[in-house]
Structure 1
Amino acid sequence: MKTTWKLLSLLFVALLTFSACSKDDDPADNDFFVDNYKGTTSYVNTNGDDDVESGQGTVFVTKVGDTYNFGFDRNIPNINGIKMEKGDNNRIFFNSDALGSITINQDDLTILYHTDGKTWTANCKRD
């Protein structure tokens, strides 16, 4: 049942990600998106017991060159070293074995990121 709940949660966040509105700024071009974003965050680790249930949290977005880092509170591990590919305005694509999507614009941050049995989600607004 716990696995079913996790899959349904991932599907819900995926639907939110694909319906997010687009802005004209491209995160690969500037540092405009570096800020705190507050909203609902969660973390599931199928390899351990350090899951963090969905709840209110903060994600701090930083950028160095074309690499983004997403720092979480609530004892959720950070997502570091996400490379940007220019051209899709506000969607980040992964150059690794990860699955999911990170969408960012001037107001919103949506994360559905899965790698190595770990899944991060966030549905946040700029602070």
Structure 2
Amino acid sequence: MKKILSVLAIALLTVSLFTSCKKDDDPADNDLFVGTYRGSVSYNTDGETISKDNGSVTVVKIGSKYNFAFSDGIPDITGVEFAKENDNTYINIGGDATSYIRINASTLKILYVKDGKRWGADCTR
């Protein structure tokens, strides 16, 4: 199972964060992505698994960083930064986690692995 998760995390890490947005929709410049997204959410760590089909993730912007507050007792992901790669591509940067976060005005997809913990989200608004 760990090998599968590692392969999946590496594969997703190699896929850059692609977001189709207008040129002026840089996440560092506006609050377009702030709000609540609803759908499936999950969290796994040794001895604990939470998985909900009707969960939510609330995206909050603080300065140039984003926090992702999960429902159902799932710990938050905080301090995520995004960088503009070209006119239509944004990638999450920094941190010591293996992560894939794709966000636009209507969808949020997350695979975030840090310290043996794994968060997931497939949500819309």
TM interval, shorter chain, is 0.7 to 0.9
Aligned length: 119
Identity %: 41
For structure 1, the 5+ residue unaligned runs are none
Conserved 8 A contact 1:26-1:87: no
Structure with the higher fraction of residues in strand conformation: 2
For structure 2, the 5+ residue unaligned runs are none
Amino acid at match of 1:51: T
The aligned counterpart of 2:84 is 86
Conserved 8 A contact 2:40-2:52: yes
The aligned counterpart of 2:116 is 117
The aligned counterpart of 1:45 is 45
**What is the RMSD of the two structures over their aligned residues, measured on CA atoms?**
2.9
Conserved 8 A contact 2:40-2:123: yes
Instruction: Pick closer, same or farther for the CA change 1:52–1:79 going to 2, 3 Å.
Output: same
The aligned counterpart of 1:106 is 105
In structure 1, C-alpha distance between the alignment counterparts of 2:109 and 2:120, rounded to whole Å:
7
In structure 2, C-alpha distance between the alignment counterparts of 1:53 and 1:110, rounded to whole Å:
15
In structure 2, C-alpha distance between the alignment counterparts of 1:18 and 1:85, rounded to whole Å:
11
Residues 22-53 of structure 1 deviation map (CA, whole Å, 9 limit, x = unaligned): 2222212211111000001100113xx23212
1:7 equivalent in alignment to 2:38:
no
In structure 1, C-alpha distance between the alignment counterparts of 2:17 and 2:90, rounded to whole Å:
12
1:19 to partner: Cα distance: 9.3
2:65 to 64, 67, 77: 67
Amino acid at match of 2:51: E
In structure 2, C-alpha distance between the alignment counterparts of 1:79 and 1:115, rounded to whole Å:
10
In structure 2, C-alpha distance between the alignment counterparts of 1:21 and 1:68, rounded to whole Å:
16
Instruction: Pick closer, same or farther for the CA change 1:81–1:18 going to 2, 3 Å.
Output: closer
TM-score (norm 1): 0.77
